Chain A
Amino acid sequence: MVANFGYGVLVISFLVALYSVFAAIYGDRRKIPAMVESARRAMLLTWPLLTLTAGILIYLLVNNHFEVQFVYEVTSRSMPTYLKVTAWWGGQAGSLLFWSWLMSAFASLVTLRKWDRDREFLPWVIVVACVTMAFFIGMNVFFENPFAQLYQNMDGVNAYTFQPADSIPFTPADGRGLNPLLRHPGMVIHPPMLYLGFVSFVIPYAFAMAALITGRTDDRWIRLTRRWTLWAWLFLSFGLVLGGRWAYDVLGWGGYWGWDPVEIAAFMPWLTGTAFLHSVMIQEKRGMLKHWNMLLIILTYDLVIFGTFLTRSGVLSSVHAFAQSAIGPLFFGFIGLTLITSVALIIYRWSSLKSETQMTSMLSREALFLLNNLLFMGILVVCFWGVIFPLISELFTGQKVTVGPPFYERATSPLFAALMLLMGIAPLSAWGHSTVKTLGRAMWKPIVAALVITAVIFVTYTQKVGALIGFFLIALVLLVTLYEYWRGAASRQRSQGENVFTAFWNLTGRNRRRYGGYIIHLSMMLMAIGILGIEIFQVETQGTLTQGQSLSVANYEIRYQEIAQWDDMPSGVNYRRAVLDVYENGEYLGQLAPRIDYYYDSQQNMTIPGQRSTMRDDLYVLLVDWEPATAAGATFKIYVNPLVNWLWLGSLLFLVGVVIAAWPEKDPERVAVREKTRITQPSAAD
């Protein structure tokens, strides 16, 4: 009954989203503002409707309604309530509903803004947002119904939206339970973050399409959506980092990024989104690259849908699975349709998108930003090709192949290095015009300092060429960015008489976008230190130990002390926990306790590493779960991951940087009024 009610509300949400699309188009074409307003209200209505739908699903999840197939597949009685709630996005049907719910929230937020100056955008923003939303709700309504219930008939037990004739309802005693890998706190937050990123990129795309349809192709749409884009980028970036942290903590291979197609699916819109964030600055400052910016946001939008398609259609396991999938071809069709329509609109408005000015120097800031875009596109092509190459191979030659990390690492390393070099050069070049001479004058000091740092690293830490190039580039970017910060703060100190902290604070506050961007650059370099550390210096070993035996790697030695095994029946988990003594160069450091958690409901293991983390390195020990683990003997896998914690530290600084960059600037008009009042006040006193 409750499930049927939930499905009913879902269908109504779908119809309301469709109505919103048609009302917006009709209202705009026939110039009937009341219809557009009706479309806007319909769009606003989708959020409470989808919230109700989601509320019903959560009710079913929390209250063990295993007669609902989705509930049966992702929960079990032993799961704690918070995990039952987060199981909402733990399966296909639920995650599609989650996508729609977030989309409706963002679309509602957009429509609540003041539209006075941008009234003509409104109907088309509604159309794009609601078409996207209707597509996802439609997936739930027609193909992936989260409220489908189990019925038993002559064919066995199957899920149906409506009870078939000659069948009886079937309620399993318990559910299968959520995949243990998804029970990690990182996985609880990671999908919402990624989805937030995905969904919020729909908003700038909707404005871009509105600009193309209405012919208002100046940079107004970019200014309106700049903050949306930054938040979208933040969510997507943080989603990626959380995914990496989850993989590091849970997957048990000692790394955070495996160039898995699912990871790449989320990384691709990030690449185009990052290129877009840089490229729009050229349009804002110089009125150039309007076609390119349109193309970038279209690409980002379609890569967002493509990412969801890759993970939801079964295409990754095989092209045949894709062909059999109900939603795969629909996703494919939707991507094709939106891509063709969007590009056709760009062609239609081609002449009005022409640049207002010209490039005047190959070393100007805008030229370097364009190079940056080329590099991001290069990485995108590598990623895209790597993901689709196995499909193409299977389709045309019938031969299945794997494209693993070596391909991506070899192909993207030079591109990432070039990007870092640009991050070191671009902040010192000027908009409009820069010469080798001016740039050289600005750069020689940071270059010399970076070379000195690299030489010190060469003497004291490593002689590996790849690592030295990486450290040089990191040092260069850090020095240039800090130098830029210092120049600004020093100037404020002298002119305003501020102390160093106030000067830094005010400097950032007065130009949040610029200095927020610099903090993001700094954070990227901290992350690069972590990436360099684990990619180049990671060492590992594996061995089977009996109690009292030890295993050594790098400067560390671990000694197997004991193992304990027990059941936690309320949670439905069996724990095996080994205790190891850790020594570094013979000095006792403490104990580590790697674990294997066996989940009875899903009959799966989860390996929890024992970790000792410092900024210098991570000692990461796994109790290997495919070998017997008893007091008589247990197999351990040990990784030493140098510098990896700089990656997580960098991601926190990244968060700070984006928040600063996206924080609303003071309203220029109000500031102007305040300044004027301040100027006129003394004269009034006189």
Chain B
Amino acid sequence: MRSSRFTSCFLLFTFILAALWTIPVSAQGPAPTDDEVNKIAKQLYCPVCESTPLDVCPTEACRQWRELIREMLAQNKSEAEIKQYFVEHYGPQVLNEPPNRWASYLVPVVAFLLGAFMLFRGFRMWLKPSTTETGPAGATREAQPVQDPYVAKLEEELKKQQ
């Protein structure tokens, strides 16, 4: 487990170094600040460390990755272009959201709407017959507020005070 993680880190590190080497460096305005780098890094995930956003990942590989973002910002690459670059090279799991966003939202939204529909259908069914209901012994009793004895006593007391 540890050795596979080490290998992954090493490969990632090597790849980043190669990428840094191949990207032409040109002086274009002031160097991007840490905050500008982190704004993008926050939206990317380290592919090696589980559930760790890039802006706080302490591994050497991720440090190099942030430098890569800085380089790309210095070349006036947009946020979308930088993210696209990382997706192309490391796969969609580097994004903090699935690329086909609608698919990830569809199921919870449909499930919730279905639940809401069933609940309101249930309400309508319960409310339809009448406001009277039949007790276990078959006696019919008017629907009325049901309160625990303490609350009822409290309400009574309040009425008296008024």
A residues whose Cβ falls under 8 Å from a Cβ of B? 251-253, 258, 260-262, 285-286, 316-317, 356-362, 367, 370-371, 374, 377-378, 381-382, 385-386, 389-390, 393, 399-407, 410-411, 415, 430-434, 487-488, 491, 494-495, 510-511, 514, 540-544, 605, 607, 625-627, 635
Is there an interface contact between B104 and A389, defined as CB atoms closer than 8 Å?
yes
Across the interface, A316 reaches (CB within 8 A) one of B50, B108, B135, namely B50
Check A401/B34 contact, CB under 8 A, given A381-B111, A411-B108, A491-B157.
no
Count, chain B residues at interface, CB 8 A: 54
Is there an interface contact between B147 and A358, defined as CB atoms closer than 8 Å?
no
* CB-contacts of B56-75 with A (<8 A): 56, 58-60, 62-63
Check A385/B115 contact, CB under 8 A, given A261-B51, A401-B98, A402-B97.
no
Closest chain A residue to B131 by CB distance? A360
B residues whose Cβ falls under 8 Å from a Cβ of A? 33-35, 38, 45, 50-51, 53, 55-56, 58-60, 62-63, 91-99, 104-105, 107-108, 111-112, 115-116, 119, 122-123, 126-127, 129, 131, 133, 135-136, 143-148, 150-151, 154, 157-158, 161
Instruction: Looking at the assembled complex, report how far the CB atom of A395 sits from the nearest CB atom of chain B, in whole angstroms.
Output: 14
Is there an interface contact between B158 and A487, defined as CB atoms closer than 8 Å?
yes
Check A511/B92 contact, CB under 8 A, given A317-B50, A433-B143, A544-B34.
no
Pairs A-B, 8 closest by C-beta atoms: A404-B96, A359-B126, A360-B143, A542-B34, A430-B145, A400-B93, A431-B146, A432-B146
Is there an interface contact between B119 and A374, defined as CB atoms closer than 8 Å?
yes
Q: Give the CA-CA distance A433 to B51 in the complex, in Å.
A: 48
Across the interface, B92 reaches (CB within 8 A) one of A389, A400, A488, A495, namely A400
Other than the given A381-B115, A491-B161, 13 more pairs (CB < 8 A) read: A251-B56, A260-B51, A359-B123, A361-B143, A362-B127, A377-B115, A378-B111, A382-B108, A390-B93, A393-B98, A403-B97, A404-B96, A510-B150
Chain B facing A: main interface SS: helix
Which B residues are in CB contact (< 8 Å) with A411?
105, 108
Which A residues are in CB contact (< 8 Å) with B145?
430-434
Across the interface, B45 reaches (CB within 8 A) one of A285, A358, A402, A635, namely A402
Closest chain B residue to A314 by CB distance? B1
Across the interface, A370 reaches (CB within 8 A) one of B62, B63, B119, namely B119
Q: Give the CA-CA distance A405 to B97 in the complex, in Å.
A: 8
Across the interface, B127 reaches (CB within 8 A) one of A360, A430, A431, A487, namely A360
Which A residues are in CB contact (< 8 Å) with B116?
374
Instruction: Looking at the assembled complex, report how far the CB atom of A43 sits from the nearest CB atom of chain B, in whole angstroms.
Output: 36
A-B contact pairs, 13 of them (CB 8 A): A358-B127, A358-B133, A359-B127, A362-B123, A374-B116, A400-B91, A401-B99, A403-B98, A411-B105, A487-B154, A514-B148, A605-B58, A626-B62
Is there an interface contact between A491 and B147, defined as CB atoms closer than 8 Å?
no
